[in-house]
Amino acid sequence: MRVRAYRFRAYCSNTTARVLKTQLEVACKLYNTHLHAEQEEYERNKTTMSKNELRQLALDLRKQNPEFQALHSQVAQQVADRFYETRERFFDGLANKPKKPHRYLSLVYPQSGWKLSDTREVGLGKNKKKKARLKQNRLLHFNSPQGASLGASVSSVR
């Protein structure tokens, strides 16, 4: 079975844009919390946290703090993974020291829960294309641009 990947620009409403901006800010705070926790751990025990410990910390922080609950659990774990990779690149001498405050420009959403809805054909003749709405857990709604060629299912959105 061949797997097809489609890439298209998503246009969102003002409400969705506000939700995404809030989630980016929360992801930045979570990253900075990881940085602070890592510094404290090193000062106390002279060791660094493993990838699994960082991921578990992200999930624990998400459970304890209502602000972090705005992020999906897999997104919170992805923030921990990004912090771990940045720290490892620093230790390998390939990057600068992780800095605070950190700024996120993108998030990686979970692999499930995405649906294409309101699919309809647009255009005439050879220019016929499909237009659809992409939804994730009733929170995020994106409209595909006119002329975007869409497949039958969505596996992940980046």
Q: Mind listing the pLDDT tens digit for each residue in 28-47?
A: 999 999 999 999 999 999 99
Q: Mind listing the pLDDT tens digit for each residue in 66-89?
A: 999 888 888 899 999 999 998 898
User: How does DSSP assign 79-116, residue by residue?
Assistant: HHHHHHHHHHHHHTTSSPPP-SS---S-----SSSEEE
CA distance 118 to 141: 11
- What confidence tier does 93 reach under pLDDT thresholds 50, 70, 90? confident
**pLDDT recorded at residue 44:** 93
| Cβ-proximal residues to 82 (8 Å cutoff; 6+ apart), any chain | 31
Nearest to 85 by CA among 51, 47, 53, 60: 51
